[in-house]
Amino acid sequence: MVNRPDSIQASLTQCLRAVRVRAARLLDLQLWCLGQDVRREGNLLLTYGFSKNRPPEKTPGSSEYAVRIAPDTTLTVWGYGMHLAQGDHQGGLFLRRFGFAPRHTQPGYVPQDCWHVKSWKRVRPPRTPKEELDTLQALSKLADAFAQYEQWVVEQMSLDYRGRNLAQWHRRPIVAADAIASSWAELAVHFSPDAAHAHQSTPSQRPLEPAFA
């Protein structure tokens, strides 16, 4: 299916409206889990394939973890949020930890000093149909990456391990340990451009409600 340019913005807006609160809570939970995985002996993120880059000495801020999830796509995570780069011809996605408010970044843009969220000054909501489409694709890729990672964690460490992580969190989890991966997988489908266009055509459908109950 080819999406008409004038329909993309409405599709993105509708997709976000349907899941923003739940997706925000899931993202916050995911970053908590990643923090627990970093503290695990051997550092699970490094075992999975992330590279680690610390702030320069005496520079406050968050270490960054980066992993290539496709030949032209790199996911970078900090304690304050994440960035998905999609190569030289597609805009990137920046998401702060809280609020689930996607921000567009120009291809190739990453601040030199990215140890703190305030470093991301050249980010903004997507404006053009191309930027809206890039954002939908990036959100889908991001969700799929987390789904695959969570499935790997359960396979490597057991479901009980992730359940213990959630039990230590100071908030009530949005999903149980055995539903984190599937919840991200459903979001990946929800944000895929073709599915987003379908959501616009049938606004009464709320496909993610049961998984996030």
Rounded to an integer, what distance in angstroms lies between the CA atom of residue 35 and that of residue 78? 10
| Strand ranges for the chain from DSSP E | 51-53, 64-70, 73-78, 81-85, 92-96, 103-105
Residue 57 DSSP symbol: T
Q: Tell me the pLDDT tens digit for each residue of 7-62.
A: 555 678 888 888 999 999 999 999 999 999 999 999 999 999 999 999 998 888 99
Cα separation, 130 vs 122, whole angstroms: 18
Which segments in the chain show pLDDT lower than 50? 1-2, 201-213
- What is the distance between the alpha carbons of residues 12 and 197, in angstroms, rounded to a whole number? 9
CA distance 103 to 52: 24
Contact 15, 208 (CB under 8 A): no
- Our count of domains for the chain comes to 1
Domain containing 172 equals: 5-212
Q: How many whole angstroms separate alpha carbon 37 and alpha carbon 43?
A: 6
pLDDT of residue 94: 97
| pLDDT at 200 (0 to 100) | 54
Contacts of 42 (CB under 8 A, 6+ apart): none
* CB atoms closer than 10 angstroms to residue 96: 18
pLDDT at 104: 95
pLDDT at 155: 97
pLDDT of residue 124: 95
- Cα–Cα dist 81/28, whole Å: 9
Residue 99: the pLDDT is: 92
What local confidence, expressed as pLDDT, does residue 196 receive? 60
141 with 69: CB under 8 angstroms?
yes
pLDDT at 204: 40
- Identify the pLDDT of residue 3: 53
Which secondary structure element, helix H or strand E, spans residue 48, and what is its range? helix 44-48
What is residue 10's predicted lDDT score, i.e. its pLDDT?
Answer: 60
Token readout for 44 is 């699970």
Residue 127 backbone dihedrals phi, psi, to 5 degrees: -115, -40
